[in-house]
Amino acid sequence: MTDLTCKLLIIGAGPGGYVCAIRAGQLGIDTVIVDPEPPGGTCLNVGCIPSKALIHAAEEFHRVATAAQGPLGITAGAPAIDLARTTGWKDGIVGRLTGGVATLLKRAKVRHVTGRATLRDGKSAVVATADGPLRIEAETIVIATGSAPVEVPSLPFGGSVISSTGALALTEVPRRLAVVGGGYIGLELGTAFAKLGSSVTVVEAAARILPQYDAELTRPVSARLEALGVRVLTGAKAEGLGAAGGLRVWTTDGHDEIAADRVLVTVGRRPVTAGFGLESLDLAMDGPFLRVDERCRTSMRGVYAIGDVTGEPMLAHRAMAQGEMVAGLVAGERLGWDRRAIPSVCFTDPEIVSVGLSPEAARAAGETVEVASFPLAANGRALTTGREDGFVRVVARAGDHLVLGLQAVGAGLSELAAAFALVLENALVLEDVAGTIHAHPTEGEALHEACLRALGRGLHL
C-alpha cells in the first residue's frame, strides 16, 4: 500500500471541499482532496449548474413558442426541441467548469486524488484508487461529503422513477411527467419540462407548494404554474406506481392514478454520512447531521465538517463560505461563522429570493416590525420585460429601522440576492438603503421603493 502524508486532507470535492482546498493551497497549506467524481460535487456535476442550464433552455423555447400570443408583435414558426442536443450543451458547460476547478486546484498546488476514501481514524484514511489502495495521513481532516436525494420507499429509483440527476440526463422530453414533491427542486425542474411541452402534475403532501417560504411569496409562483398548465395537487401522498404504470396517489377525494411516462421524485436531500468510515470516528451528531460548532469543528480534535453534512440550509454558497473559513482556521487565522445573511434562492418562475427573517419569523423572535412591499407592476423595467408579477419586501425593526429581512419574487430577481445580503451583512437601516441612489430603470429600484414605503414616504405607488 502506497503512503501519502499532508497537513490537510479533505474528503469530498464539492463546493465546500474544493473551495476549502483552493484557499488552503493559497495559504501555503500542504493539501490533499479526495473524491471519486470530478471536482464540483452534486452542485456542479448534477445539480445547480446543469439544472439552471435546462431552465434557461426551457425558457428560451417557451419564449419562442408563445411569442405570437404576446403583445410585442413578434411572430415565429412552431419551434422544436432536440433535448439530446440541449443535454450535450449542458454537459459541455459542466465539463468546462469541472475542468476549471481542476485547474484551480492544480494552480493552488493541491493534490487531487480520484477515488473513494474510507476514514481509519481522525488522522488517516485509505483511498481506493484505480491504481490500488492509497493510505493518506494528515494533521487535519475536513469532512465535506455533501448530500444525496432522498428515496421514497414506495418509489425506488429505477425505470420510470427518476431523481433530479436522472431528469437532467433525459434526452427526450417526457410527454407526461409526475413530480413528487412541491419543493424548490421539483418545481424548478417541473416548470422547465412544462415549458418544453410536458404535461406536468405536481404532488405535494403539505397544504401548499414551497412550504419553506411564506404564502405571500409563493402566490405568484402558483399563479404562473396554473398559467403554464401545471396541475398541482396539495395535501396529497404518493403511494407508488399503479397497475397502468402511472403514479398512484391519495388525496382527500380518495385514491387516483396519474398517468405518467416518468415520475420525478424530489422530496428532499439527506446528508451523506455512510460509506466512508465515519463510524470509526464516533462523532457527535445532530439528528442525521454532523454536529459542529461556530468554527465547523466536530467533537473530535483536528476533524472539521462543512456543507450539507452539517445541516440546514443545505446550500452550495454556505458550504463555500464554511470551506474558506476552515482553510483560514487551519492556517492559524482567528475566524468564526456568522450565518445571519445566507441568501436562499428558488429558481422557479417567477424566482424567489430571501435573506434574513420573514415577517412571521421576526415577530416569532419577539421583534416589532415594519413591513413594506413594492409591486413590480409599478416598476418600469419590469413592465418593459413583460413580467410584472411579483414584488420586493422589506422587514425592519420598528424602533431603530434595522433591516432584519429582505424577500422578493419575480422574473430574474435572483440577481438581487447579493444586494440583499450586503444590506443585512452590514447591518444597514432603512434610511441607508433609501438614501442610496438606485439606477433607473432597473428592477433593483423596487428595493429602494420598498424601503421608502416602510419609512412612510414612498414615491411611485
Bridge partners (DSSP) listed for residue 179: 202, 264
Selected catalytic residue, list 401, 438, 440, 460: 440
Q: How many CB atoms lie within 10 A of CB 206?
A: 14
User: Alpha-carbon distance 35 to 15, whole Å?
Assistant: 12
Cell numbers 422589506 correspond to: 394
Q: Are 375 and 360 in contact (CB under 8 A)?
A: no
56 catalytic? Reply is no
Cell numbers 431552465 correspond to: 55
User: Alpha-carbon distance 272 to 308, whole Å?
Assistant: 8
The amino acid at residue 414 is S
Residue by residue, what is the 3-state secondary structure of the chain? CEEEEEEEEEECCCHHHHHHHHHHHHCCCCEEEEECCCCCHHHHHHCHHHHHHHHHHHHHHHHHHCHHHCCCCCCCCCCCCCHHHHHHHHHHHHHHHHHHHHHHHHHCCCEEEECEEEEEECCEEEEEECCEEEEEEEEEEEECCCEEECCECCECCECCEECHHHHHCCCCCCCEEEEECCCHHHHHHHHHHHHHCCEEEEEECCCCCCCCCCHHHHHHHHHHHHHCCCEEEECCEEEEECCCCCEEEEECCEEEEECCCEEEECCCEEECCCCCCHHHCCCCEECCEECCCCCCECCCCCEEECHHHHCCCCCHHHHHHHHHHHHHHHCCCCCCCCCCCCCEEECCCCEEEEEECCHHHHHHCCCCEEEEEEEHHHCHHHHHHCCCCCEEEEEEECCCCEEEEEEEEECCHHHHHHHHHHHHHCCCEHHHHHCCCCCCCCCCHHHHHHHHHHCCCCCCC
Q: Are 300 and 291 in contact (CB under 8 A)?
A: no
Q: Are 193 and 251 in contact (CB under 8 A)?
A: no
> What residues act catalytically?
440
